[in-house]
Amino acid sequence: MMTRQKLRSEETKQAILSAAGKLFADRGYDGVAMREIAKEAGCSHTTIYIYFKDKEVLLHALSMPPLIELKENFEQLVTQSQLAPETKLIEMSMRFIRFCLLHRSIYSVVFIAKGERVDKEQQDLEINETRVALFKQLGQVLQDVLPLPLGEERLLQFNRIYFFMLHGIVSTYSHTEEPLTDIMDRLSSTFETAFDALLNGFKLKMTNGG
């Protein structure tokens, strides 16, 4: 049973997370002050420190759950063997895009300003592991689409290029005010075309080159 206190506490915590998510997404991690988050969340800035040890922990708490969800989401898709690899890959790509645009603050911090500090190990480790896992999942399916031996130079190259496309799409729209649904409505077919064209280009190279 949830006491009324616990409930209120949880509400505050969620309010903080929600406020931080919104503000980080809009103006970036460094561009947002704790006091602003507090104001947006409707509490004092000291209250934030009750729930999160410091600003970085707040970001971490904000990032982990969606990241894990995405990872599990990916896993589910990967193991669905009745789908064609290409269909899987594009579906995963679309979900990745949707995720990054939905959680813009996470995107900028987790996928862009990656791995610098060595100190905050425990935390960054957790995040980093998840990020690596995500990319590995994508890479694996890409390999299914392009039948090249693992470790082959060209596979690595195609992998990189594929991620350029992903990053390019996300970074192009991660600063827009336009709501996610509008973007997806307008552009999801463009995104699919992008991946499709790219994969066809890869295949052509494999045919010619092999």
Partner DNA sequence: GATGAATGAGCTTTCATTCAT
Partner DNA sequence: GATGAATGAAAGCTCATTCAT
| CB of 108 or CB of 143, closer to DNA | 108
For residue 14, the partner it binds in a copy of itself, DNA, none, with Cβ less than 5 to 8 A by kind, is none
State the number of CA atoms in the 13 A half-sphere of 201 facing the CB.
11
Largest pairwise CA distance in the chain = 68
Question: Is 102 near a copy of itself (CB under 8 A)?
Answer: no
Question: Is 96 near a copy of itself (CB under 8 A)?
Answer: no
| CB of 119 or CB of 153, closer to DNA | 119
* Residue of 10, 69, 121, 196 that binds a copy of itself (CB under 8 A): 196
- Compute the CA torsion angle 24, 19, 118, 70 (nearest 10 deg): -90
**Exposed, middle or buried by CB within 10 Å (0-12, 13-18, 19+), for 180?**
middle
Q: Which two tokens stand for residue 179?
A: 């709501």
For residue 33, the partner it binds in DNA, a copy of itself, none, with Cβ less than 5 to 8 A by kind, is DNA
| CB of 33 or CB of 68, closer to DNA | 33
Question: Is 38 near a copy of itself (CB under 8 A)?
Answer: no
| CB of 7 or CB of 112, closer to DNA | 7
| CB of 8 or CB of 186, closer to DNA | 8
Q: Where are the alpha helices (DSSP H) in 4-54?
A: 4-27, 34-41, 45-51
Report helix angle 121-145 to 55-78, nearest 10. 20
Taking the C-alpha atoms of residue 28 and residue 25, their distance in angstroms, rounded to an integer, is 6
Taking the C-alpha atoms of residue 35 and residue 61, their distance in angstroms, rounded to an integer, is 18
What residues numbered 132-191 form the site for a copy of itself, per CB under 8 A?
157-158, 160-161, 163-169, 171-172, 175-177, 187, 190
Closest CB 180 distance from DNA, rounded Å: 24
| CB of 51 or CB of 135, closer to DNA | 51
The answer to whether the CB of 165 falls within 8 A of the CB of 92 is no
Which residue ranges make up the site for DNA (CB under 7 A)? Answer: 3-6, 8-9, 11-12, 32-36, 43-47, 49-51, 53-56
Cα–Cα distances in angstroms (integers) from residue 144 to residues 6, 37, 166, 191, 206, in the given order: 48, 44, 18, 20, 14
* Residue of 10, 11, 30, 185 that binds a copy of itself (CB under 8 A): 30
| Site residues, a copy of itself (CB under 8 A) | 30-31, 112-114, 157-158, 160-161, 163-169, 171-172, 175-177, 187, 190, 193-194, 196-202, 204-205
